[in-house]
Amino acid sequence: MQGYERYAIYYAPEAGSALGAFGNSWLGFDPQTGEKLSRPVDTNCTDTGLEKLTSDPARYGFHGTLKPPFALHLDYSIFDLDQALQDLAQELAPIVTGPLSLKQIGQFLCLCPTTPFDGLNNLAAAIVQKLDHFRGVQSEEQLAKRRARGLSDRQEAYLQQYGYPYVLEEFRFHLTLTNSLTKAQIELVKPFLEQMTEALTMDAFKIRELCLFADPGKGQPFELLKRYSLTGGRQ
């Protein structure tokens, strides 16, 4: 688990699940096995077209962010982080929300859970806060990139405190499916996604595991290093 530029704590669908099979195929890559996968093909949206429309989320793997990517603090090793995740997973309970729903956030398409959100938000907050000492200090250049789109005062405060502006009250869990798209691109790909995700948006959404992802650097896809079962009885 050593030698990576950054680490992240994500939700990834359980191995063998229909949601995981869809998401990995949609993005063309299984982050747990490293296997490249054939993408679905639609008469109006070829597999080559999908590759261009999904290049950003494809690098990170099909996931929902719980603690965004961070360089490891020099005072800690990946083995320290691994142990902390094992301990935290024993404290935190699995999460159940309403079914997933295909949504547009800004200019990208994603799957979002429906209510209730309290358990999910509390889970993410606990992970961000209890593991933040593992996060290395970010450079001014890195912070400037986060500020480029404009931040509210609260988002700026979170950026300074946690290295990321969209945490705690600013957090919104989602499973990203596309790059930022034009209106014409959204109109092209959205009906295809609605058809493909219809069966995935019927049942309750559950998070039973935390996943440790890692960034090899040089633009290579993130890798899923380890899963941690949530076995606690409280939030």
pLDDT digits (tens, 9 = 90+) for 150-164: 999 999 999 999 999
Q: What is the pLDDT of residue 47?
A: 62
Q: Please give the structure tokens belonging to residue 171.
A: 């957090």
Q: What is the pLDDT of residue 235?
A: 42
- Ramachandran area for residue 18 (φ above 0: left; ψ -120 to 50: alpha; else beta): alpha
Rounded Cα gap, residues 149 and 153, in angstroms: 13
Q: Is 6-96+116-179+204-229 CATH 3.90.1140? A: yes
Q: What is the pLDDT of residue 50?
A: 86
- CA atoms within 13 A of residue 16's CA, in its CB half-sphere: 0
Q: What is the pLDDT of residue 48?
A: 62
**Whole-model pTM?**
0.94
Q: What is the pLDDT of residue 4?
A: 96
Residues (pLDDT < 70) of the chain are 43-44, 46-48, 234-235
Q: Please give the helix or strand (H or E) that residue 226 lies within, else none.
A: strand 223-229
